[in-house]
Structures are given as structure tokens and as C-alpha cells.
Structure 1
Amino acid sequence: METSMGVWLALLFGLFPILGWLLWWWNDLWYAPPLKFRYSGTGTRLPPGHMGFPLLGEMITFLWYFKFLHRPDEFINSKRRKYGDGEGMYRTHLFGSPSIIACFPSISKHVYQSGDVFIVKWPNVDLMGQTSLGAVHGKVHARIRNYINQCDQPH
């Protein structure tokens, strides 16, 4: 009886934390080394950030800020507080893909104009909703984009 209790304690305090740590860093370990190797000769480095859990990435945090708190700017501001404003770009894992969050209009412009380096891809409308930036066009798109640009200004 004591042996089985010792095994469970060993698992609880030894193996489970290691497995949790590996899960926490899995996306970073899976995506970052190939990207670092691909751009190693160009002097380009990955922006700061964390990729989150496998499959989920940082979607739970993202949805918490966007859907429950109704404060989408706080998701980005949490990245800015954690990693600083130095680069204005942060890596994350959202909607099942590695992603970059650009916080300043000048960086967004650079991303949109360098199509060979960055792949600009909007998430599925079913995930984001019919009124998301990627789903609307014309005046509504311009209004939402202006709102986002106002949120992107440094505080």
C-alpha cells in the first residue's frame, strides 16, 4: 500500500509537472526552431511571445479578453506589458496557426507590404463572427479598422 502511494506521489510531484511544462512549451519547441533556422542567415529574429498549449495555443486567453471581458485591446496590452513595446510585434498561436500580432500601424503596413515574408491570412468567419474585420467590407470595414488603429496607439 505504501509503495503505490509513493508511486502516485512521485507521479504527482515528478512526472506531471514535467509533462505540464512540455505541453506548455510544445508549440514553441515545434514552430520556433524551424523558423529560426530558416531565417538564421538573414539576421531576422522571431518576435517575443509565447505559442501556448498544443492545438489551443493562446485561444483561451484570446477569447477571454474578446468575448467575456469585451476588452480586445487588453489582450494586446497584456503582451505589451509582458514583452515591452520595443518591437511592437509579438508571436502567438491563434486559430490553430502560428501568428504575429502587430501593435503599431507602421508595423502593420510593413507586414502587409512584405507578402513574401509574411503570409496574411484571416481566420475563418465562422470562428470570428459575421461582424469581424475579415468578414465585413466597405464603410463598416473602414470604421472597424479605424477603431483598431485608435487602440493600437501607444498609451
Structure 2
Amino acid sequence: MAASDDRCSVGSEDAVIRLLMEEYKSLRAEVTQRVAERTQLIVVAGGVAAILTAVGGLSFRTPHLYVAIAIVLFAVVWGLIGSRDMMLLGAHLVRLENRINLLAERAYGAPAVLTWERWISLEQGRRMSRLPWTPWRRRLRRRSTFDET
């Protein structure tokens, strides 16, 4: 993290921490809302696809099965796009956690007070690094270090 990002007058860390915590809370609420919306979309798409399949049967001669497949594919693609956005939110939350932890340590002498996003990102990086795809492994290792520079 650049030094210019952490400049604040002595004693004003508390106010900066409060502002950053408000941003942190709103971003966590946005992640929670996106997860709920994505789950709802998958449930509705699955339900509609099941109803269309039940009404039209599993026949390729009627459009019901094709429409059901299209709906499921749309839900999957939409979910993947949402996952990418949530990964970006998670990366920003990690940066916020690091900054809040740095300010809290400076102001109160407290060790890391926020650790969830950093832990989950590192854990996900460890799991993904076990996959055999070499390009992904290198990129995830770089992402999971969370350098402070």
C-alpha cells in the first residue's frame, strides 16, 4: 500500500477508520445482496426450466426443451458475470481490511482486526493453485500475496 494512501494527521485515525468501516459495511452488504439475487435467479431459472420440460416433455421436437436449456444457460452465464464482479468487490474489501488494520494498529496498537476477506481469498487461492492449469496457478499465486506496496 502506498504511503500516500495512509497519510492522516495524528489522532485522526479514528475518524478515518469510521469512514472506511462505513464503506466496508456497505460493500459487504452489496456482496450479500448479490449472492441472494444470484441464488434467486438460479432457483427461478431452474423452476421455469423444470416446468417447461414437464409441460413439453423431454422431446427435441418441441421448443420447450430448447427454451428450458436456454434459460438455464442464461442463468449460468449471468452467475459467472456476477461472480467476476464479486471477486472484484472481494479484492477491494481486502485492500480496505489492510488499510483499516494498519490504521487500527497505528491508533490503538491492535493487531489485525479485520481478516475475513483476506483469509477467504488466500484459502481460495490455495484451492485453485492445486488445479492443473498452469496459467491460472501463476496468476492466482500473484493475486493471493496481497502485497502492501
TM over 0.5: no
Structure number having the greater helix percentage: 2
Q: Which bin holds the TM-score, normalised by the shorter protein? A: under 0.3
With a CA cutoff of 8 Å and minimum separation of 6, indicate the structure with the bigger relative contact order: 2
TM-score, with structure 1 as normaliser? 0.27
TM-score, with structure 2 as normaliser? 0.28
Structure number having the greater strand percentage: 1
